[in-house]
Amino acid sequence: MEKMISLTIDGIQVQVAQGTTVLEAARQAGIRIPTLCFLKDINEIGACRMCVVDSGARSLQAACVLPASDGMVVKTNTPEIKQYRKNLLELTLSTHEKKCLSCIRSQNCELQKLCLELGVEDGDKYEGTKNAYTIDDLSPSIVRDNNKCVLCRRCVAVCANVQNVGVIGPVNRGFKTAIESPWEMKLNQMSCINCGQCIVNCPVGALYEKDDTAEVWKLLSDPETHVVIQPAPAVRAALGEEFGLPMGTSVTGKMVAAMRRLGFDKVFDTDFGADLTIMEEANELIERITTGGTLPMITSCSPGWIKFCETYYPDFIDNLSSCKSPHEMTGAMVKSYYAEKQGIDPKKIAVVSVMPCTAKKFEAKRPELGHDGMADVDVVITTRELARMIKEAGIDFGALPEENFDSMMGESTGAAVIFGATGGVMEAALRTAYERITGTVLEDVEFHAVRGIDGIKEAMIKIGDSDVSVAVANGTGNASKLLDSVRAGEKNYAFIEIMACPGGCVNGGGQPIVSAQYKMDHDIRVERAKALYGEDRAKELRKSHDNEEIKTLYKDYLTEPGSHLAHSLLHTHYQKREKYSD
């Protein structure tokens, strides 16, 4: 039983477990202490000093690293403390590029919010010499603008400690300190996996996705181009947040309606591609198990994970499923099956994918993902970019009706929609693999053993007379731990799911940005996943192989999973990558 201690915060008696910080104790008492560098469980270093409190010591102390002690008396909001915090903000602004009106994080900036709360009116009070930095925009996914960096080191912590990548960090000292890559290299020269976790954890506009909305507007304005759009499963679980809806609200119907009003010729669904992925992936898994193929087979839906594997674990490349990711499969079908059925020249079709993921921008540019000289997907935009387009077009999102996806590539099952949550790909594959292997109907389709946000989940699944050992990892740091155990011979699995982002796609680098203060009390991975599991339960069909449009696709075009045509259009290969490039 943990030992409890008692302290007083702003006159309120608080009881907490020993080892609790003053910041956490105040939170439990309903007292909000402002923070800037703090990121729960990730960056708890007391660097910004915004959370200072008076604990009776000779100087103010940072609450995020100050252990609560029995009998402690803490003050969090005295005139001295408020002035101290205000001075800190004014000093921060003295080196900050204050282009707030045009900043991508305007109205969703933690620095801006703190300045408003603490009454900072003069951003130039300590105006003086500034460091000028060249914007690093050479990556296909991520833009870095150190002119707006506040040196909180949240991006550094998540990249190194959560993702186990570590391609950025502080260089130089004092006034010249900056967050950079080694040897002044750009992100596109580093072993960055493009996951965008640095973006969603940055408090300001120092990191953001490469904006491709101008290219989409250009396509939409071209009367000669047939423009198709497809949104990923996780997009519908988060898009509503950009329009004031509660986190965890599924907005599938309104999202489709908004896309039509933006002018897209067809609105298809990446969920269709997810069902298609399961058909191919389950077939591949069964084939590997029955013919002595390379095991464990590892999922290939997450491009951040794929690049991580190619760079840091190339000895596992043969374990990767050869299946393209769902949106790439959908794109390939749009430019072959759909084009043929509709009598449209595929070279006049443009496919736009809306993804919760910044790594998808990199993925779409991979030369392996295309056919007949065409890329499967032409442009990738994030959930945030779609929201900006809807707002720019003056569409009242809340007033939109619920509309359905277009037929031919718009039907999906419950198995597809859960792809957006960690464990979802595994669960969807098991639903189909079970029935394919046993020839019997799977009555209970929910595999709770692979659900949840634990970094690594293991399960032994009974399929007929066989026990199939599976594992799920989310976040590439956890993927490292799992693969290291497999490499060392400590673990043995038949099938592994890995997603690059913690919690899966619902917490992808392209999703709506949530403040660190909100994350102290809410787990956005859980809240957004609820929307996907809710859609799954509401679906009449919950197994990929029951999708009628998928059945028609194989009957009229692909013949069967793993056929020669299916393999040429829906499968790919991978390559070993160097950690650094010129």
d(CA 118, CA 99): 20
Q: Two tokens at 508? A: 């992808």
Catalytic hit among 192, 198, 501, 505: 505
Closest CA to 449 of 483, 516, 495: 495
Closest CA to 274 of 570, 574, 557, 479: 570
Catalytic hit among 80, 184, 340, 368: 368
Cα 458 to its chain centre, rounded Å, is: 22
Catalytic hit among 24, 242, 310, 363: 363
d(CA 56, CA 75): 9
Is residue 321 annotated as part of the catalytic site, yes or no? yes
Three-state SS annotation for 210-268:
CCCHHHHHHHHCCCCCEEEEEECHHHHHCHHHHHCCCCCCCCHHHHHHHHHHHCCCEEC
Tell me the torsion sign for CA atoms 518, 519, 523, 525. Answer: positive
Count the residues in the chain. 582
Is residue 284 annotated as part of the catalytic site, yes or no? yes
Instruction: Give residue for tokens 């946000």.
Output: 453
Is residue 505 annotated as part of the catalytic site, yes or no? yes
Tell me the CB-side half-sphere exposure of residue 215, using CA atoms within 13 A: 13
Is residue 360 annotated as part of the catalytic site, yes or no? yes
d(CA 147, CA 130): 9
Element (H, E) at 209: strand 207-209
Coil, strand, or helix at residue 323?
strand
Catalytic hit among 64, 103, 301, 501: 301
Is residue 501 annotated as part of the catalytic site, yes or no? no
Instruction: Give residue for tokens 């965890």.
Output: 248
Catalytic hit among 86, 210, 360, 543: 360
Instruction: Give residue for tokens 């200072």.
Output: 52
List strand residue ranges (DSSP E) for 91-148, in order: 142-144
Catalytic hit among 139, 141, 321, 544: 321
Tell me if 138 sits within 8 A of 188, measured CB to CB: yes
Q: Is the peptide bond before 303 cis (omega within 30 degrees of 0)?
A: no
Tell me if 302 sits within 8 A of 498, measured CB to CB: yes
Catalytic hit among 209, 280, 284, 435: 284
Tell me the CB-side half-sphere exposure of residue 78, using CA atoms within 13 A: 14
Tell me if 15 sits within 8 A of 80, measured CB to CB: no
Is residue 127 annotated as part of the catalytic site, yes or no? no
Element (H, E) at 297: strand 297-298
Tell me the CB-side half-sphere exposure of residue 381, using CA atoms within 13 A: 23
Give the phi and the psi of residue 174 in degrees, each rounded to 5.
60, -135
Is residue 365 annotated as part of the catalytic site, yes or no? no
Is residue 368 annotated as part of the catalytic site, yes or no? yes
Biggest alpha carbon distance in the chain? 79
Catalytic hit among 24, 90, 180, 281: 281
Tell me the CB-side half-sphere exposure of residue 388, using CA atoms within 13 A: 20
d(CA 363, CA 358): 9
The residues annotated with a catalytic role in the active site are: 281, 284, 301, 321, 360, 363, 368, 505
